[in-house]
Structures are given as C-alpha cells and as structure tokens.
Amino acid sequence: MRKILAFYLLVFLAAFSVNAQDKDTTQRQSLTLMFIGDVMGHGPQIRSAYNSETKSYNYDDVFSRVSPLFSLADITIANLEVTLAGQPYMGYPQFSSPDELVDGIVGAGVDVFVTANNHTVDRGKQGIVRTIDVLTAKGVPHAGSYYDAQHRDTTYPLILEQNGIRLALLNYTYGTNGIPVPSPTIVNLIDTAVIRADYEKAKSLNVDEVIVCVHWGNEYQRTPAIQQQALTKFMHDMGIRMVIGSHPHVLQRMEASLDTDTTEGRVVVYSLGNFVSNQRQQYRNGGAVAAVNIVKENGKTLIANAAHALVWVHTPIVDGKKLYRVLPVAEYEKQTDYFNEEDKALFDEFATDSRALYDKENYNFPEILMRDTEWMIPWEIKPKTTFNHLTPILPQSSIVFPNRLSIP
C-alpha cells in the first residue's frame, strides 16, 4: 500500500481539524478511503491507448488528472469492470483490456481492485485466471474472483491495514450476464447466506471495520431499486457499516450517518457511475469519487466524515485521435478556456445534473471542492439534521440516518 506524501497528508489532516498533538494525547488514528466507480474498457478506449509507433499501450494520460485528488486518500478502491484476458483486446460485449490499463490507474493512485461484476466471466475461465495472475504479478490487492475454493478460502476476505486500522473488504455481483462461472473458478455472487458467513469470518480476523463493494441495481436508473435498499438494510443490520455500489453506470444517491455518543455510523453509496468509459449519453459520461474518513480512538473505530467529488470523461480530438481524460469537475470548471464550446456544454450538463441529484437526495455527503489549487474536504459545511427517504422503502425497514456531519 502506498504512503501518502507528507504534504498531502498534512493538507488532509488540517481539513479534518486534526493536529499531531491531538493524535498523541488521544491515541487517535485516521484513515481515509476513496471509492471510484466502473473502470470500463470499450473498443474506442483501447484504440485510443495504442501507440502505433511503439506498438504499445499507455493509459497514463487518461488518469493523471485525478492523481492529486486520490492523494487525499490512504487507500483508493476501484471496480475493474473488464478482464485482463490478453489478446485479442476487445470492448463490449466481452471485455478484455491491455494490462497497461492497470498500470495507468495504479500510477494515478488506485491501490485496490474489486473484480466481481457482470463482466468477470466475459472471457471464460482463461479470462478469470489471467486477470488474477496479472493483478497478483503487479502486486495489486484484489477481491471478488478466485482460481478455486482453496484460493478463496486463503485470501478472502481481503485484509487491508493502514495507519493502525485493519479493514476487511468483501465484494459481490448480482450475476455474470447469464454466463456460468466455469469450474473450479469462483466469482462472488450476491447470496445473503454467503455474505453472512463471510462477515463472520471477517470478524474472526480481528478487523476494525468491514466494507462491502457490491455490483447491483438497474442499469441507467438514477434511483436505487428496492432490492438495493433491502440488501443494504440486511448488511447494515448485520453489522456491515460501509456499503459501496456500482453497475448502473449512472450516479445514485449517497447516505452517511456519522458516529457520535448516541448514534451509530453507517454509509451507503448506491452507485458511483462510470469512472471511465466510452458511454457518452447524458448521465453516463461521468461518475463520482466517494471519500469516507474513519478514525480509531482509544480502540474504538468511528465513521467520522464523508464527502464526494464529481469526475467527468473528456474525449477531445488531438492530432486526429480521440483521447480519454478523466477530469475532476471542481477543478476543471474553473478553467474557462480549457474546453471547446461543445465539450463545455456536455461538461456543464453533467455537473448540473449530478449536483441537482445530490443536492436533493444525498445525506451527509457534501462535495469536495478546491480552494485555490488545493483539494480540501468540506468539513465546514453545515450538515443536514433530518432525513427522509425519497424513494419507496420496504415496510417497517427504513434505513434511518439521523446524525450530522461533525468535525472530529
């Protein structure tokens, strides 16, 4: 796991009003997690990354502009929604991206991948095995798909430990596009009995917190389905306090309850949208980064803060070639001369649509903005104090988030 440069660590700690003296006197440890949405690899993206002169692929330019944002996190986790099955490289419907896709996104600051999604079996057993091989060879921790039962039993849950805080990461998908998972490989499917067993195993491993990344919901629907809400309630009630969703390819709401003396913290992010893809339709050409800060104080783990940042996929034509660049919205909306007129209209549309959704439906997940040239967690924003779900809730099963955003 990478170590954050001292400069960025100091910026982040200042944003949460933590100083070295406080940490020493209260034995307080802090860990910030970031989660990003679907990392897709459509055909045009693959062709864009190819250099005909060197006959090689490079994705550095795709992700370099989000690297400063990721530097605010101790651990950044991404949904890898392609296989690394080798050639022939292909986009939809049977994804296989060059290995260099991983190099580009890891180089920008992503630390961990979850691999259980509806495209995990696109290239059959060979695709599952080679994806695991590549991630393992590159030293990138991952969860969600396995060589066999023994491999799963010995490596899952994925344990992540940083800053004195020990986490267990679980990952599941609703399905694999109707393609059977070939034996003996395993792809984690949503099954409440399995989730319960995995959670019990995680607790036995002396972890401070359990996180579930889950591939679920209805594609292109901006409201979470009743099944997403029901599964969230099941996991929250069981003790899994952090649930992060992907798959719909559009944004869905985020909700956070923060730990206090009288309330228990919980987080759900229903869908982070597309982090990078070739989908250019309204609502689909961008996504969000969710940040959750947890602290451990005198042996007790607390969910202390949550925030988000919007990202948009820019596809400029440079020297006759279509490029893909993931842009942090809060930074690039200040650069008035960066876009041509058509791209600026698309950028503004995504920003406006996304903020309208989040302003209406998010709970205690304010936006991370920039002050001058520095990213700052918006700790000073006054939190909401009441909450009502805006979509149907299962009878007698509403998820209540009565807390407010507090400064640790």
Domain assignment present for 73: yes
Whether residue 204 is contained in a domain is answered as yes
88 is written with which tokens?
């022939």
pLDDT of residue 378: 55
User: What's the pLDDT score for residue 377?
Assistant: 62
Distance of CA 37 to the CA centre of its chain: 5
Residue 405 lies in a domain: no
Are residues 279 and 233 in contact, defined by beta-carbon separation less than 8 angstroms? no
Residue 38 falls inside a structural domain = yes
pLDDT at residue 74 in the model = 92
Dihedral sign (CA 122, 127, 132, 138): negative
Task: Give the pLDDT score at 372.
Answer: 72
1 lies in a domain?
no
Total number of domains in the chain: 1
- Regarding pTM above 0.75, the answer is yes
DSSP per-residue codes, 56-95: EE--HHHHGGGHHHHTT-SEEEEEE-S----SSPB-TTS-
Would you call 240 helix, strand, or coil by DSSP? coil
Q: What are the mean pLDDT values of the chain's consecutive 10-residue runs (408 residues total)? A: 38 36 57 96 97 96 95 94 97 97 97 97 98 97 98 96 95 96 98 97 96 97 95 95 97 92 88 98 98 91 94 96 96 92 96 97 90 65 35 28 23
Q: What is the pLDDT of residues 242-285, one digit of tens each?
A: 999 999 999 999 999 988 777 789 999 999 999 999 999 999 99
Q: What is the CATH number of the domain that holds 107?
A: 3.60.21.10
Q: Which residues of 235-274 are buried (b: 16+ CB within 10 A; e: fewer)?
A: bbeeebbbbbbbbbbbbbbbbbbbbeeeeebbbbbbbbbb
Residue 385 lies in a domain: no
Domain hosting residue 259, numbered range: 6-376
Q: Does residue 361 sit within a domain? A: yes
Whether 202 maps to a domain, the answer reads yes
pLDDT at 57: 98
